[in-house]
Amino acid sequence: MESSRDRSEPRPWMLSETTWPQIREAPPDVVVLPWGATEAHNLHLPYGTDCVETEAIAAEAAAVAWHGGARVVVLPTIPFGVQTGQLDIPLCINVNPSTQLALLTDIGSSLAGQGIRRLVILNGHGGNDFKAIVREIQPRVGLFLCVLNWYRGVVDPAEFFDDPGDHAGELETSLMMHLVPGRVRPLGEAGPGAGRPWRVDAFNEGWAWAPRQWTRFTDDTGVGDPAAATPERGGAYFHAVTERIGRFLVDLAALDPDDLYG
């Protein structure tokens, strides 16, 4: 898989590393669009955390699928997400859902016009919510669109972490320790990631929802304690997530978009 390859060798499943003749000779069955964000991650992780994680997961899952016989191509990662609750934090870059709609419409229309039939949005940021966007775009473009949040539902985080956390906690910190350890500050510099509860119980219980005002909700921008994070836990989680997503991409490549249901 990718981790054992010479990184100077182009990976044919990464569009940024391949050429037009290669694509022309072997058009992809599935295109993956990693979508991240640019935001503060507690006091110890970089602003690009969501992009680093999502691109790495896309690349490794595509490698799994490629070696499983599926022609998968990963597009360059989109680095900006919805940050409307974090606009008071310097350099948290917001793009509105309406902007995402316009961009995804253009990307989807381009791919559909080139004969691509399957597009996976691999989302790595909790503020991005693509369901309504996909529902609006789907009738306009002639390709199958789906969304996958790699951090939710692919595998059970409780199998790997004591307290996964919601943002820059044990899960994300462990994953970054595995992927780019040199970009993770010492855990002694991290904040506790303690979020404040809502004053209305319905929001805490999850049956009512409103966007969080981030700097009022948490002092360090984290949600979840990263203290127990290790690169070994991050590596085990990374392997489990990418293997499962890779198998999904193989299944999707074999799916006829005109015959979706059994």
Work out the angle at residue 255's Cα, subtended by the Cα atoms of residues 115 and 78, and round it to the nearest 5 degrees.
60
Whether the Cβ atoms of residue 39 and residue 92 lie closer than 8 Å to each other? yes
Sheet with 144-149, edge to edge strand ranges: 72-74, 30-35, 118-123, 144-149
User: What pTM was estimated for this model as a whole?
Assistant: 0.95
Domains of the chain: 10-251 (3.40.50.10310)
Q: Is 165 a residue whose pLDDT tops 80?
A: yes
DSSP for 96-140, please give it: -HHHHHHHHHHHHHHHHHTT--EEEEEE--TT---HHHHHHHGGG
The Cα-based distances of 99 to 10, 94, 203 in angstroms read 32, 10, 27
Position 59 scores a pLDDT of: 98
How far are the Cα atoms of 43, 74, 128 from residue 59, in angstroms, in the given order? 27, 7, 20
Give the per-residue pLDDT at 14.
98
pLDDT tens for each residue of 189-247: 999 999 999 999 999 999 999 999 999 999 999 999 999 999 999 999 999 999 999 99
